[in-house]
Structure 1
Amino acid sequence: MSTSLHGHGTRRTTASGNSSLGRLVSDTTADLQKLMRQEVALAKAEIRQEAKKAGKAAGLFGGAGFAGYMTVVIGSLAAMFGLAHVVDIAWAALIIAALWGVTAAIMAALGRQRMRHVSPPHRTVETLKEDAHLMRRSASHAKAIAAEPISSEPPALPVPHTEHGHR
C-alpha cells in the first residue's frame, strides 16, 4: 500500500500504487468540482470588483443626466421668456410645451419601432441547452465506465483480414 500527497495536503492511499477506475473517476469528479468552485469564487470576486467600478460610473452618468435635464428645463424657460417679448407669456409657454410634446412623440415612435427589432439571445439559449445536454451525456458516460468490471486481461486487438488473391 502506498500513500501520495495531492493538492493542498490531500492524501490518497492506493493499493499497490494502482487505483481502480471507479476511484479515478471519483477523484477526477472531486477535482473538477473543486476547480469549478474555485472558478466561481474567482468570477464572483472579479464581478464584485467590476460592479463597484460600474456603480461609480453609473453615478456619474446619473449626475450627468440630471445636469442635462436641468439644462433643458432652464433652456426651455429662457426660450419661453425670450419668446414672451414677441407674444404673450402664456402663448410662449404653450409654444415651448408643444415643441417638447412633438419631440416626445417622435422619440416614442422611434423607440417603439426599434423595440420591435429586439429579440432574445436565441444563439446563447441554444448553446446553453447543447452544453447542458453534453454535460449530462458525459456524466452518464463516466458512470457507465465506472460501473464496468475491470478485467485483468488486456483487450483483444483486432487482427486485420488480408485476402490472398490468385494471380
Structure 2
Amino acid sequence: MKTKTVYQIDDHNVYLGPVSLDESDISPLEPDVWLIPGGCVEVQPPSIPEGKRAIFNGEGWDLIDQPAPESEPEPKPEPELADMLPEDMRRYLTGVVQKHMDETAQQRNYDGILSLCTYATSTNAKFAAEGQAGVEWRDDVWTACYDLLDSVEVGSVVIPTAAELIDLLPPFSWPETPE
C-alpha cells in the first residue's frame, strides 16, 4: 500500500503536525499525483527545538521563538453595588441569580434553567421529575430574589454581594431518579 506524509499548517502557516495519506488520496485521473489536503504542505519541517515553532514561508521553514503563554485574565472585581442606581443594581443582581440557576441546570447537561423547565411535561419520567423540580425551584428563587431586592430598595436590608445573594436563595435538590 502506498502512503505519503504531508505536513499540516494553520491559517498563520504554523506547523501543526504530520498527516498520513494513503492510496485513497491518489488522483483517479493521474495515478502519480497525490491529492494534498488543504492546509498541508509536502516540505518536511526541520527538527523543532524546545521553545521554538516552525512557520512555513512558502518554500521552506523558519524557526521562530514560541510566544509566551497568555496569562489567565484577572477576574473582574464585583462592581460597587452601593454606587449603582437602583435599576442597575437590580439588573446586576438578577443577572447573578440567572447565571446561578443556569449553571445549576447545566450540572445535568441542560442548556440552562429555561431548558430544564421545559422538561416538566416530558414523557420521560426522569426528565419530567427534573423539569418539575426546576420549575418549582425557579419560582421559589425568583420570589426570594425579588422580595430581597424590594427590601434593599426601601433600605430595610443591606445590599448583598453576589455570593451573599446566592447563599440567601433556596437551594436546589435534584430529584431521585424514578425507576
Question: Scaled by the length of structure 1, what TM-score is found?
Answer: 0.26
More helix by share: 1
The structure with the larger Rg is 1
Question: Scaled by the length of structure 2, what TM-score is found?
Answer: 0.25
Higher RCO (CA < 8 A, seq sep 6+): 1
More strand by share: 2
